[in-house]
Homo-oligomer: A and B are copies of this chain.
Amino acid sequence: MRSPEHVASAVSDPKLVEERRAEILDAAVRLFSENGYYVTTIQQIAKASGVSIGLIYQYFGDKDDILFLSLKLVLDRYETEIPARLEGVEHPVDRLCTAIWAYCSIVDALRHAAVLTYRSTKSLRADRRTLIQDAERKTNLLIEGCVHQCVAGGYMREVDEFLFAYQVVLFCHAWALKNWALRDRFSLAEYVSEGVKLMVEPFLTAKGKAALAALRRRSHDFRDEPARTAPR
C-alpha cells in the first residue's frame, strides 16, 4: 500500500527504508503543501525532517521522487481511509453518504495536501503523473461503487455513474480547493449536508428517500458524527 514501487532506495533494510521515508515524506508533504513544490528546497526538507541532505538522497532518487511519493501518500490516505470508514456500513444510501462524509473530512484534515495534488501533479515526470492519475481513478471507483449499489438496489434512479461519482469527488476536493470561499458560509458538516441535498437526494427513488430520512434521523444530519480522521 505505502508503495515504494517505482522508487528505488540505496538503503537495503526495507524496514529502515519504510521508516525513514515516512519521516522525510511527512516533512515534505507539509512543506510542499504550504509553500509549493518548486519553492520548497531539499535543504528545508532535510532540516524539517531532522536528517541530513545526503540521507535524503539515500532514500529517494531525486526531488521528483519525493513529490511523487508525497502525492501518493495523500491519495493512499483516500484509498485507505474511505474503505475503513465504510466498514460495517451496510445500506447503500448510508454507504454513499458516509463515503462523501469520509472523503470530505479526510480532505479537511489534509486541506493543503489536497490542494497540492491539484497544484503539483503536472510537475511530475509524465510516467509518474499517470500513476497518480491511476490512483485517483481508484478512489473514484470507491465512490462509483457506492453509487452503483444505490442504483442497483433501486434506491437511486439511473445516472451516468462515472460522471456522478466524479461530481461527488470534485465536491469533496472543492472543500480544500475553494476553502477560501466556502469556509465563511459552511462548517464542514453543513457542507457535507448540503452536498447530499444537492447531489444525492434529487436522484433518490422513494425507497431511497426513505432510507435517507431514516439515516438523518439517526445521525441528526451528520452533525454529531465525530471526526474519525486523526487530525495531523
Residues on B with C-beta less than 8 A from A38 are 36-39
Most buried by B among A36, A195, A203: A36
Q: What per-residue 1/0 map shows which CB atoms of A111-149 lie under 8 Å from chain B?
A: 000010011101100000000010011001000000000
Return chain B residues, CB-CB under 8 Å to A185. Answer: 162
**Interchain nearest-CB distance for A54 vs B (Å):** 12
* A164 interface residue per 8 A CB criterion: yes
Further 11 A-B residue pairs, CB within 8 A, beyond A162-B185, A163-B186: A36-B38, A38-B38, A118-B119, A119-B120, A133-B181, A136-B181, A140-B181, A159-B198, A160-B197, A160-B198, A170-B170
- Minimum CB–CB distance from A117 to chain B (whole Å) comes to 10
Contact status B198-A167, CB under 8 Å: yes
A207 at the interface (CB under 8 A from B): no
Q: Is A194 an interface residue (CB 8 A)?
A: yes
Q: Which residues of chain A in 26-55 are interfacial with respect to chain B, using CB atoms and an 8 Å cutoff?
A: 36-39
Contact between B167 and A123, CB atoms less than 8 A apart: no
One digit per residue, 1 when the CB lies within 8 angstroms of any chain B CB and 0 when it does not, for chain A 177-207 equals: 1101110011000000011011100110000
State whether A123 touches B36 (Cβ < 8 A).
yes
Say if the beta carbon of A155 comes within 8 Å of chain B: no
Query: What 0/1 pattern do residues 98 to 122 of A give for CB contact below 8 A with B?
Result: 0000000000000000010011101
Is A60 part of the binding interface, using a Cβ–Cβ cutoff of 8 Å? no
- How many angstroms from the CA of A183 to the CA of B3 in the assembled complex? 29
Greatest chain B CB density within 10 A among A133, A180, A203 is at A180
CB-contact partner of A171 in B39, B167, B195, under 8 A: B167
- Decide yes or no whether A215 CB sits under 8 A from chain B: no
A222 within 8 A of B: no
Contact partners of A198 in chain B: CB under 8 A: 159-160, 163-164, 167
Q: CB distance B194 to A166 under 8 Å?
A: no
Could you tell me if A167 and B167 are in contact, using CB atoms closer than 8 angstroms? yes
A174 within 8 A of B: yes
